[in-house]
Amino acid sequence: MKSLPRFLLLTGGAFVAGLALLGVILAVLGYDPGAAFRALVSGSLGSWHALSSATLVRATPLILLGLGFSLAWRAGGLNIGMEGQFLAGAIVATWIGLHVGALPGAVAQPLVLLGAVAGGAAWIALPIFLRQRFGVLEVISTLLLNFVAEALVSWMVLGPMQEAKRTYPQSDLIAVSAQLAHVPGGRLHAGFVIVILIAIGAHLLFHRTMAGFQLRATGLGPVAARLSGRIPVNRVIILALLGSGALAGLGGGMEVSGVTYALYQNLSPGYGFTAIAVALLARGEPIAIIGTGLLFGALEAGAGAMQREAGIPAVAVAIVQATIIIVVLVAESIGRRRLRTISPAGAA
Amino acid sequence: MSRKPEAALELVGIRKNFGSVQALGGADFVLHPGTVHALLGENGAGKSTLMHVAFGMIAADEGVIRVDGHPVRIDSPRDARRLGVGMVHQHFTSVPALTVRENLDLAGGREDGGAAGFLSGLDLEARVEELSVGQKQRLEVAKALATGARILLLDEPTAVLVPSEIEELLQAVREFAASGGSAVLITHKLDEVFAVADDVTVLRKGVVTLSGALQGETRESLAKAMIGEAPPSATISRLATRDLQLPPAVTIQDATVPPRDARSPGLRKASLVIHPGEIVGVAAVEGNGQRELMLAVAGILHASQGVVSVEQPTALIPEDRATEGLIPAMSVVENVVLGRGKDAAWSRGAWLDWQAAERVGTDIMTRFDVRAPGPRAVIATLSGGNQQKLVLGRGLSTQPRVLVVENPTRGLDLRATAEMHQHLRSAAAGGVAVLVHSSDLDEVLLLADRVVVVCRGELTELSPPFERGRVGQAMLGVPPA
């Protein structure tokens, strides 16, 4: 990113503004902002445990789904259905995880994750088909399939995949061999490393390969890309959307095999939507997504601590997140407008 | 002071900088009532900027605006309309799904504005999407008048029109002036200036170099004021190097190409042969199937029947450089890669060697005089002429056997136009088969060795002489006498 210093300044400034606003609102409502901020920091960065077991664990799906959104977005597609693909991936991962107890971890874990990838890709296949065949906007179809996926999970954990005891709406724990390695004594799992590698891979894809160039060209200038006669625009969009769904599905699989070890209702606290903000804030740049994913992961981790230690509802950090997004979007659009009036397209 | 009638619009000492770039350096402009005033200048001379100041779209750094002799503040297009100033922009602003009448109502609904001249022959109940380009353009003018405008600012209104449409539009502008209105016509075309204008102002680099009555001016004097030297001759003759002995580079036989959109008839049972070194001009009114012909030869569209056999590689210079030829948000080098694809110069398996691509980009910039800070400059910051030179240079850098060119000089100034023509001629002289279409018929006739006409999907080859009136009739489907 050429404007990196400006980007950091803007995001940092927006972040501070969001915190300030949160403090004011908490003070007005009679909470102790000092205690709130202490909990926010201690719960996200205050200790190795907070950092690794809370912040990084939260950031893992946010970064991964942010990359997923970016993959489609840079090609001109809008995948608003990552929440659904995440759940579809989680269902498949759980099912495989329940059945691979006999296999060694080196086989079981890749199987689980590949299954999740396939699940996420399958969940976006219908929107892709509808887009290709009937021109249905994927914004709508992917969004609507989120609700179907939620219902499907509910049905699964109350029906075919419910635990053997049939007490709670959840699945049994997946086989130990299917669980991802994690830091001893903590919750940080191998998925985080995989996600960072995927981010680096996405960066290389976008900026160092012909395929990535074709993807960006398709997103920025679909007509020119098609008329160049060198870019199979349609295939690029299909593959980008498929990849987007696959990454979201992988996120679901990692959550099951790395964190929860079982399928639940409400498995995702809105990762699929928060990740859109994570990706847009980073302008779809994979390396920047690591940064914004960590920021939002830290905020969510800190929010949990704030609720436990200061008695302030965790959703209060949504104020900070919203402020960041609004400030950055407004600053961007002002910047764009200024650009537009300065260069009247060369024709004068 | 003499007792001359007050000027309808007067701009005095208008100064405007964009950052460190001076767009207008104290420009004066006087529009007399009841006249048509041509505003001339190369790309980037400040014509549009000056008119945008008058229309309240751009705030001047310095200067005074007077309407009917009274100093006024024009801070927005709304202020301008209130003062009776209307502007017609380069792009259409009508709602395609609504009727002509509904669009007029949307614009302001004043029926008294003398719009009749511009609406003649227009069905008020027709939906705008069904109108021809020329009719749409006249509707744009009528909309400006519907706001009660007595002063019309027309920003290159004829750029997208065919000759007969241009004539109709200019005729209506004249009538508007005859009825007491005043009009500013921004244009590149000297013919139009002499056809319609009373007064002329020429801008060069933000400064007025010529201003006054058109009477007594010549093409040469105007061109000199525009570019500051004798214009590069537009009629450099080319040695006829085409060699009919060589096998044809393009062979089309009874080819049918399905229409790209509902408004086009597509191309039906067309046959055409182009030899290396020939420039074949395609004369056609927009939307008659010529686009299908061009894109089929370029390999973008495919014939549903018949044969389209084209020697490779081919290069396409598409109609609209900003959306079809280039991706404005990307850099020069990225746009080079866009046009040439998986080229051995920078392809390393799946990887892309940007440094190698930048060397190619820099080379193209040097050879075709593309002025930009460097290969990483974003296309949107380049002038139209430099963008077009990049498109052409990129195409020629693949050493094509066949060059397909659509509207190569749309929106370019005289110098850039002459350069572009020279490049096309020397490509042909070097043995490239060139197929060129322009909505400016004069450009087709100027460049072409042979002329074909596409009308309602039918391709017809004309026999010489390629005389304007004859070709124009064929374009409109009038059978030769």
Nearest CA in chain B to A221: B327
Q: Give yes or no for residue B95 having a pLDDT over 50.
A: yes
Q: What is the mean pLDDT of residues A302-319?
A: 89
Subunit contact A229:B316, Cβ cutoff 8 A: yes
Chain B segment 304-333 residues within 8 A of A by beta carbon are: 316, 318, 322-330
Query: Which range, of A186-195, A207-216, B104-113, B454-463, averages the lowest pLDDT?
Result: B104-113
Q: How close, in Å, is residue A231 to chain B by CA atoms?
A: 8
What's the CA gap between B119 and B172, in Å, rounded? 9
Residues B412-434 pLDDT 10s? 878 888 889 999 999 999 999 99
Residue A213 forms contact with B (CB below 8 Å): yes
For an interface test with A, the pick among B316, B343, B352 (most A C-beta atoms closer than 10 Å) comes out as: B352
Please enumerate in sequence order all residues whose Cβ is within 8 A of that of A328, keeping only pairs 6 or more positions apart, or say none.
A10, A11, A14, A281
State residue A258's pLDDT score: 96
Nearest CA in chain A to B333: A213
Residue A298, φ and ψ in degrees, nearest 5: -65, -40
User: How many contiguous H segments (helices) and E segments (strands) does chain A have?
Assistant: 14, 0
Instruction: Give all strands (DSSP E) within B78-119, no chain letters.
Output: 85-88
Subunit contact B48:A228, Cβ cutoff 8 A: no
Torsion of CA B3, B9, B13, B16, to 10 degrees: 180
Residues B243-280 pLDDT 10s? 556 789 999 999 999 988 766 789 999 999 999 999 99
What DSSP string describes A86-104? HHHHHHHHHHHHHH-TTS-
What's the CA gap between B166 and B183, in Å, rounded? 16
Q: Give yes or no for residue B376 having a pLDDT over 90.
A: yes
Residue A222 forms contact with B (CB below 8 Å): no
How confident is residue B369, by pLDDT bands cut at 50, 70 and 90? confident
Subunit contact B300:A227, Cβ cutoff 8 A: yes
State residue B478's pLDDT score: 65
Residues B274-330 pLDDT 10s? 999 999 999 987 778 999 999 999 999 999 999 999 999 999 999 888 889 999 999
State residue A50's pLDDT score: 92
State residue B234's pLDDT score: 41
State residue B6's pLDDT score: 84
- The dihedral built from the CA positions of residue B1, B3, B4 and B6, taken in this order, carries a sign that is positive
State residue A347's pLDDT score: 34
Comparing CB atoms, the residue among B48, B324, B334 nearest residue A344 is B48
Residue A334 has what DSSP assignment?
Answer: H
What's the CA gap between A126 and A142, in Å, rounded? 9
State residue B242's pLDDT score: 52
> For B261-293, what is the HEC assignment?
CCCCCCEEEEEEEECCCCEEEEECCCCCCHHHH
* Contact (CB, 8 A) for A115 and A253: yes
Residue B48 forms contact with A (CB below 8 Å): yes
What's the CA gap between A2 and B264, in Å, rounded? 44
Residues B440-474 pLDDT 10s? 788 899 999 999 999 889 999 988 888 777 787 78
Comparing CB atoms, the residue among A225, A344, A346 nearest residue B338 is A225
Residue B77 forms contact with A (CB below 8 Å): no
Comparing CB atoms, the residue among B323, B350, B381 nearest residue A224 is B323
What's the CA gap between A40 and B393, in Å, rounded? 58
Residue B187 forms contact with A (CB below 8 Å): no
Strand arrangement of the beta sheet that strand B199-204 belongs to: B85-88, B151-155, B182-187, B36-41, B199-204, B207-213
Residue B208 forms contact with A (CB below 8 Å): no
Q: Give yes or no for residue B110 having a pLDDT over 80.
A: no
Nearest CA in chain B to A214: B338
Q: What is the mean pLDDT of residues B334-358?
A: 94
Of B110, B108, B131, B111, nearest in space to B121 by CA:
B131
Instruction: Give the rounded percent of residues in chain A with a pLDDT score beyond 90.
Output: 79
Residues B208-231 pLDDT 10s? 999 999 998 888 788 778 766 544
Query: Which range, of A87-101, A252-266, B44-58, B114-128, averages the lowest pLDDT?
Result: B114-128
Strand arrangement of the beta sheet that strand B458-461 belongs to: B314-317, B402-406, B433-437, B279-283, B450-455, B458-461
Residues B230-245 pLDDT 10s? 444 444 344 444 555 6
Subunit contact B323:A347, Cβ cutoff 8 A: no
Instruction: Give the rounded percent of residues in chain A with a pLDDT score beyond 70.
Output: 95
What's the CA gap between B295 and A181, in Å, rounded? 56
Of A310, A330, A328, A332, nearest in space to A320 by CA:
A328
State residue A344's pLDDT score: 37
Question: Which residue's entry shows tokens 């109108």?
Answer: B131
Chain B segment 4-33 residues within 8 A of A by beta carbon are: 18-19, 23
Residues B157-185 pLDDT 10s? 887 777 778 888 898 899 899 988 999 99
Comparing CB atoms, the residue among A211, A224, A343 nearest residue B325 is A224
Subunit contact A347:B43, Cβ cutoff 8 A: yes
For B293: left if phi > 0, alpha if psi spans -120 to 50, otherwise beta; the answer is alpha
* Contact (CB, 8 A) for B93 and B152: no
Pairing of strands B279-283, B267-274: unpaired
* Tokens representing residue B279 in the block: 């420039």
Residues of A within 8 A of B384 (CB-CB) are: 345-347
State residue A185's pLDDT score: 84
Residues B135-160 pLDDT 10s? 888 888 888 888 888 999 998 888 77
Subunit contact A348:B381, Cβ cutoff 8 A: no
State residue B31's pLDDT score: 95
For an interface test with B, the pick among A207, A210, A283, A339 (most B C-beta atoms closer than 10 Å) comes out as: A210
Q: Give yes or no for residue A97 having a pLDDT over 90.
A: yes
Q: State the DSSP H helix or E strand holding residue B454, giving kind and residue range, or none if neither.
A: strand B450-455
Residues A311-332 pLDDT 10s? 888 888 888 989 988 888 888 7
For an interface test with A, the pick among B50, B52, B91, B338 (most A C-beta atoms closer than 10 Å) comes out as: B338
Residue B12 has what DSSP assignment?
Answer: E
How confident is residue B204, by pLDDT bands cut at 50, 70 and 90? confident
Comparing CB atoms, the residue among A230, A345, A346 nearest residue B341 is A230
**Longest Cα–Cα distance in chain A:** 76
Instruction: Give the rounded percent of residues in chain B with a pLDDT score beyond 70.
Output: 91
State residue A254's pLDDT score: 97
Rounded to a whole number of angstroms, the CA Rg of chain B reads: 24
Residue B246 forms contact with A (CB below 8 Å): no
Q: Give yes or no for residue B63 having a pLDDT over 90.
A: yes
Subunit contact B384:A348, Cβ cutoff 8 A: no
State residue B147's pLDDT score: 82
What's the CA gap between A54 and A209, in Å, rounded? 35
State residue A1's pLDDT score: 45
Residues A160-205 pLDDT 10s? 999 999 999 999 999 999 999 998 888 999 999 999 999 999 999 9
More reliable by pLDDT, A334 or B353: B353
State residue B321's pLDDT score: 87
- Mean pLDDT of all residues belonging to chain B: 86
